[in-house]
Amino acid sequence: MATVLYLQASPRKPQESYSSRAAAAFIEAYRKLHPDDQVMTRNVFDSTLPEFNQAAADGKYAIMHGKPHTPEQAAAWRGVEHEAAIFKAVDKVVLSAPMWNFGIPYRLKQYLDVMVQPTLTFSFDPVKGYEGLVKGKPVLLVLARGGEYPTGSPVDFQLPYLKFIFQFIGFTDIRTLLVEPALASGPDVAAAKLAAAIQQAPTLAATF
C-alpha cells in the first residue's frame, strides 16, 4: 500500500478551480487503479503552516554554520521538522497549483519555504555542494494558467520554478499536467482545455 500526498494550492472552490478539477480527475483515476493506497489531501490555504520568522531563519543559518539551535530556534524548528517529516514519509506527491503573477501562490511558497531545509530535504557541504534528500518519489504537477506559456517562456516562473525546487530536494521523476489558457481565451476554450487534461488523467495515473 502506497501513500500519496495531494497538495492543493488554489483557494478557489474545488468545483471552480481548474487545477483542482484536473487533479481531482487524476486522483479519481489513481484511486480506481490503487484502491488500497491512502491519499492524504491538504489545501495549503486551509491548513495552518508554520511561520518562517526570525527564529526559523536564524535556526536555518545555525544549521548551515554547524551551530546548535537556541531554545527559541529549536521551538521554531519543530514546526519545520514536522512538515518535512510528513512530506518525506509519503511515497508519491501530487501538487495542483494556479499561476499567480507568473509564479506560484504565496501560501504554496510559504509551504516550500518551510519544507525546503538543510539536513531535512537537502544537504549542503562546502566541498560537495547541495544534494537533495527526498529520493525515489514521483511528483505530478497539475498546473492551471490563465494565459498560455510555451516551453521556455521567459515569463513562466511557475512550472520552471516548481520543477527546479523539486529537483533541488532530490526528485528526478517530475511529471506535468497543464490546463492553459484557463482564462485569457474565454470560458469555452478553458472548458475544452480542462476536458483535455481530464482525458489524460487515466493514462497518467496508470504509470504513477
Binding site for ligand FMN (CB under 6 A): 10, 12, 17-20, 98-102, 144-147, 182-183
Name the residue among 16, 28, 173 with its Cα closest to residue 6.
28
Q: Whole-number minimum distance, CB 145 to ligand FMN, in Å?
A: 4
Comparison of 49 and 189: residue with beta carbon closer to ligand FMN: 189
Which residues on neighbouring strands pair with residue 132, listed in sequence order?
122
Number of Cα atoms under 13 Å in the Cβ half of residue 34: 16
Q: Whole-number minimum distance, CB 23 to ligand FMN, in Å?
A: 9
Comparison of 100 and 208: residue with beta carbon closer to ligand FMN: 100
Name the residue among 194, 204, 205, 160 with its Cα closest to residue 22.
194
Contact 150, 133 (CB under 8 A): no
d(CA 135, CA 124): 16
Comparison of 18 and 77: residue with beta carbon closer to ligand FMN: 18
188's grid cell: 469555452
Q: Whole-number minimum distance, CB 113 to ligand FMN, in Å?
A: 19
Q: Whole-number minimum distance, CB 31 to ligand FMN, in Å?
A: 20
Comparison of 170 and 181: residue with beta carbon closer to ligand FMN: 181
